[in-house]
Structure 1
Amino acid sequence: MLEKLPDVIGHALQGVRAGLDNIVFNALGMREGMATIAVTSMAFVDHAPIPARYTADGEGVSPPLQWTDLPAGTAALVLIVEDADSPTPNPLVHAIVVGLPPESGSLAEAAIPSPDNDGAGLHVGRNSALQAMWLPPDPPPGHGEHRYAFQVFALSESPEFSDTPGREEVFEALRASAIASGLLIGTCERPDGSIKIEESAPAAGPLAAG
């Protein structure tokens, strides 16, 4: 993780982004015509800013999510949240949750553990900070808008995941048994210091590239 990047580095890295093509939703290469899951949130609409409450500039808890249109034969669900615009070769993983029951239909606010919150007892995998919790959006200043991909996958079986599965383990399980997928994009942007001086806003939390 790149932490506390100065504005000049954020500007210099503006052209360096993992890219939407590399998020699991697109990299998985699911065939055309496969069922699509509708993923929404009561906190923000698709391609709109994520409220500060759910980022490193606020309480840093995970946002509420809902999903519908699961296909028949869904045995379990997986949630992966990635930053498509992180200045890294692959998107930064902000959350992994596996083993969600099909009948759940939603995740409540703060359901995923975070630094000051125990969560709702979910089976949580490792984020890019190697922690089994929600990693709040915290893009570097001056790097521009970051797109956070909330991806929900339906599986035809319930794989036996490790205690804290990482992206590769989950990707292989999805490759083997994913039958539908859905995507919700939320955005977050931290202006550079020169803009923040004019805003007289409260000081932001620790800065991290993601």
Structure 2
Amino acid sequence: MAILHYFEFLLGRLLYPIRGHDSRQIIHCPAFKDLAQPNMTLEATDIGPSGSKLPLSCTCKAEDGRGALPKLCWTAPNSREEVKEYVLLCEDLDPPIPFIVFHHGLLWAIPASTNKAEPKDIAPGEHAKISRQTVAGWRFVPNVRGTPYVGAGAPLGHGKHRYVFTIIALSESLKFQAPETASKKEIKRAMEGKVIGWAQWTGVFEKPWPH
């Protein structure tokens, strides 16, 4: 097992320069062209200010091996338009693959009356693989593990990764003919002309050497 850890570490060091794909994050897609600056607040008060280290319970080093969503809360946007729906996204900006950001969670159809997200909200519903709905009734786009959310999991040796959580307020609800198959690309396109607010909070994680 130790040999695998050394191999992962050496590969991580080799690929260390490949990181910092900030220009690929969602706020740089066309849907945000008229709202370049955030006009909301997003906080993870149990952890600290943006840029804080994620606790192990929110990472791949959690007891369940998956990691929990940090408890997040947000304010409504400073906008004349009424919020109809929220979208919540978590992106890893530093994966060791050129020009790629990984989404760890992409949740949409979050009611306008909602101002927080907790792990219980994003647990997969009874028929989540088909409906792509959480127990709270929110929709999700599956991550690489096919789940609504998976915690931080930077490769050993690749240094610190930034996990950027973005809350997005929309003036219209997203509608798809088949919402259970909506992709990240389709959601980004559907948000165009509807974004009236957004904010970000960043958590940082560097995978520790296994005991």
Interval containing the TM-score (normalised by the shorter chain): 0.7 to 0.9
Q: Structure 1 residue aligned with 2:51, among 44, 47, 50? A: 47
TM-score with structure 1 length normalisation?
0.80
Deviations 1:167-191 (A, max 9, x none): 1011112223111111111111114
Question: What is aligned with 1:75?
Answer: 84
Q: Structure 1 stretches of 5 or more lacking a match?
A: 202-210
Question: What is aligned with 1:125?
Answer: 140
Task: Tell me the secondary structure at the aligned position of residue 135 of structure 1.
Answer: coil
Shift of 1:18: 5.0
Q: Structure 2 residue aligned with 1:93, among 93, 103, 109? A: 103
Q: Structure 2 stretches of 5 or more lacking a match?
A: 129-133
Shift of 1:33: 6.6
Tell me, in whole angstroms, the C-alpha distance in 1 between the residues paired with 2:184 and 2:15.
Answer: 24
Question: What is aligned with 2:122?
Answer: 112
Tell me, in whole angstroms, the C-alpha distance in 1 between the residues paired with 2:53 and 2:38.
Answer: 27
1:146-157 equivalent positions in 2, closer than 5 A: 146-157=161-172
Question: What is aligned with 2:131?
Answer: none
Q: In angstroms, what is the RMSD of aligned CA positions?
A: 2.3
Contact 1:11/1:143 (CA < 8 Å) preserved in 2? yes
Tell me, in whole angstroms, the C-alpha distance in 1 between the residues paired with 2:59 and 2:34.
Answer: 34
Of Structure 1 and Structure 2, the greater helix share is in: 2
* CA separation of 1:163 and 1:123: change in aligned 2, threshold 3 A: farther
Tell me, in whole angstroms, the C-alpha distance in 2 between the residues paired with 1:7 and 1:184.
Answer: 28
Question: What is aligned with 2:69?
Answer: 62
Contact 1:18/1:85 (CA < 8 Å) preserved in 2? yes
* CA separation of 1:84 and 1:34: change in aligned 2, threshold 3 A: closer
